[in-house]
Amino acid sequence: MLIRAFHRHDLVPLTELTIDTFRPFYEESFRPLVGEAVFANQHGDWQGDYRRLVAGLHAPERHAHVAVAEAGDGFAGYVAWSVDPGRRNGGITLLAVAAQHRRLHVGTALCEHAFAAMRAQGAEVVEIGTGGDPFHAPARALYEALGCTRLPTAVYYRQL
């Protein structure tokens, strides 16, 4: 596996990887959990939201970067992060690993790559967020294995 910097020609395949990665969450977990009205309000255009988000993830002028993991069969995954040099902290914005590469330490390698880049930019602390639902359990396990401390939070939705 090779981890390299993002190139503009990566945008379409990484966007599709993101949509494929998170489709089960939105369609099989979040939608049935909150119902159609809340789903439509909060994430009714989740695919379009990701198309817009992924297009703006790599912006070095804003200290925002993307690294791509390539394997013999194509993209294995990617990580996006940003750094706030004034506060000396960074954050993982998005981590996506292709289904066939999960449980093969691709996520670990991508996070470690981002951590090293953030340290090089002066960050001393990193923040990573994920969901508390069953879909996000592998992400929580990864972040805890990387030595991150879990901060319990709760988010509530209600249709008015």
d(CA 134, CA 80): 23
Kindly state the DSSP code that residue 62 receives in the 8-state scheme.
G
pTM summary value: 0.93
Domain assignment present for residue 157? The answer is no
Q: Say what the pLDDT of residue 158 is.
A: 86
Domain assignment present for residue 139? The answer is yes
Domain assignment present for residue 158? The answer is no
156: left (phi over 0), alpha (psi -120 to 50) or beta: beta
Q: Say what the pLDDT of residue 76 is.
A: 97
Domain assignment present for residue 159? The answer is no
Domain assignment present for residue 154? The answer is no
Q: How many independent structural domains does the chain possess?
A: 1
Q: Say what the pLDDT of residue 149 is.
A: 95
Average pLDDT over residues 64-80: 95
Could you tell me if 77 and 98 are in contact, meaning their C-beta atoms sit under 8 angstroms apart?
yes
Q: Say what the pLDDT of residue 73 is.
A: 84
Kindly state the DSSP code that residue 71 receives in the 8-state scheme.
E
Whether the pLDDT of residue 42 is over 90: the answer is yes
Percent of the chain with pLDDT over 90: 92
d(CA 27, CA 141): 22
Q: Residue 131: CB partners within 8 Å, gap ≥ 6? A: 25, 139
More confident residue, 152 or 70: 70
Domain assignment present for residue 76? The answer is yes
Burial tier of 92 (Cβ tally within 10 Å: 0-12, 13-18, 19+): buried
φ, ψ (nearest 5 deg) of residue 77:
165, -175
Domain assignment present for residue 63? The answer is yes
d(CA 86, CA 115): 17
Domain assignment present for residue 152? The answer is no
Q: Which domain holds residue 66?
A: 2-145
Q: What is the pLDDT of residues 100-149, one digit of tens each?
A: 999 999 999 999 999 999 999 999 999 999 999 999 999 999 999 999 99
Whether the pLDDT of residue 155 is over 90: the answer is no
Supply the CATH number for residue 29's domain: 3.40.630.30
